[in-house]
Amino acid sequence: MIRWSARGLLFLFILLAFPVPSPAPLIYRPGEGWIYVPVGGEDAEWRKMRAEDQLLVAREAFDAGNLSLARRAARRVINVWPLSDYAPEAQYLTGRIPEEEGKLERAFKAYQRVLERYPKHENYEEILGRQFAIATRYLEGAWFRLWGYIPTGPSRARTAELFEQIIAVGPYSSVAPQSQLNVGNAWISPELGVLPVQKENYEKAVKAFSRAADMYRDQREIAAEGMFRTGEAYYNRARSADYDQSVADKAIATFSDFITLYPREPRVAEAQRMIDDLRSEQARGSFEIARFYEFRGNRMGALIYYNEVLRKDRNSEYGQRARERIDALTAQTRRNGP
């Protein structure tokens, strides 16, 4: 027993007296996360003592396609020298890297941090353009991913939120007007859902389109598009299963304003067609109510709604039939009294 203890002490003494470096390929560093460090000290080659040199490492690695090294070098600039003149460019690279990897939502968030922290960044418009392109991918049906990996499908709310974030940091940028329109598009686009569009989605779309027409009224094309899309959203809502007379009235009023304000717009004819369609539907509804009153023997109620048909759409088929019933009921009233 004593002999084995002596041997153990001798072995321990040799280990302590003559240490041998052991491989440690995975280490954790604040701001860099878990990283692989090659055996032999190569890791020290990219770690620089000046922010300018560290950013240069990140740039060169990115250009060479070494995105892992580019990410580590850029993060080191941000964490070690957050107030340096090189931090904004490093933050910009943290957006470019995941975009190159196809991690769109992560790239969007990184770009958002750039614009929030450095609103005067030299690549301001370019970054907004990249964000707009990413958000548009989701508007076209790209799937969101949980934790950046697990596909969860398209999302109306999250797509609308992306465009809203663009507007928040760049309300007067070149992509802001279309972003505001796309907030509305996200809520009702058929690319983002297989189920029928819900009532509240139309309401959110109307709010977004109306805001575009109001915020950017000095841009004729955007203002006209916003007003037309507002009327169209009202129209589709009115034509949905749970028909709403008041929404139809709002659609007609909006399209009438559109025709008045933008008489040379190519879609004036389409707007007029939808007005006629809604008025015809309103006339049909009033005609059916009038028939019900007439069937129950309430001539005065029937006359009220037959006249409502004429007010809604006197030139339609229902207008012609309503006039015939008004003449018949009026003659009957004269003969027999009320």
Residue 9: pLDDT above 80?
no
Q: Cβ distance 306 to 326 under 8 Å?
A: yes
3 pLDDT higher than 80: no
pLDDT band at 95; cut points 50, 70, 90: very high
What is the pLDDT at residue 7?
A: 56
Rounded Cα distance, 197 and 75, in Å: 43
| pLDDT tens-digit readout, 19-59 | 444 444 555 555 455 555 554 444 568 999 999 999 999 99
- How far is it, in rounded angstroms, from Cα 213 to Cα 79? 43
Q: Please, what is the Cα angle at 151 between 111 and 207, to 5 degrees? A: 60
Name the pLDDT band for 2 (thresholds 50, 70, 90). very low
Query: At residue 12, does pLDDT exceed 80?
Result: no
Question: Average pLDDT over the chain, rounded to whole?
Answer: 85
- The torsion angles phi and psi of 242, rounded to 5 degrees, stand at -95, 80
216 CB-contact burial (10 Å; exposed 0-12 / middle 13-18 / buried 19+): buried
∠ Cα 321 327 333 (to 5°): 135
2-18 mean pLDDT: 51
CA distance 67 to 320: 73
Q: 277-314, pLDDT tens digit by residue?
A: 888 887 777 778 888 887 888 888 877 877 877 887 78
Rounded distance between C-alpha atoms, residue 72 and residue 61, angstroms: 10
pTM: 0.77
Q: Please give the Cα distance from 280 to 302 (Å, whole number).
A: 18
Summarised one tens digit per residue, pLDDT across range 173-188 is: 999 999 999 999 999 9
CB-CB contact of 152 with 142 (8 Å):
no
Which pLDDT score is estimated for 11? 52
More confident residue, 249 or 326: 249
Distance CA 256, CA 310 (A): 19
For 106-143, give one letter per residue: b (16+ CB within 10 A) or e: bbbbbbbebbeebeebebbeebbbbbbebbbebbeebe
**Cβ-contact 257, 277 below 8 angstroms:** no
What's the half-sphere exposure (Cβ side, CA atoms, 13 Å) at 279? 21
Contacts 24+ apart (CB under 8 A), 306-311: 309/283
Digit-coded pLDDT (tens) for 220-253? 999 999 999 999 999 999 887 566 678 889 999 9
Mean pLDDT for the stretch of residues 313-333? 80
Q: How large is the average pLDDT for residues 203-212?
A: 96
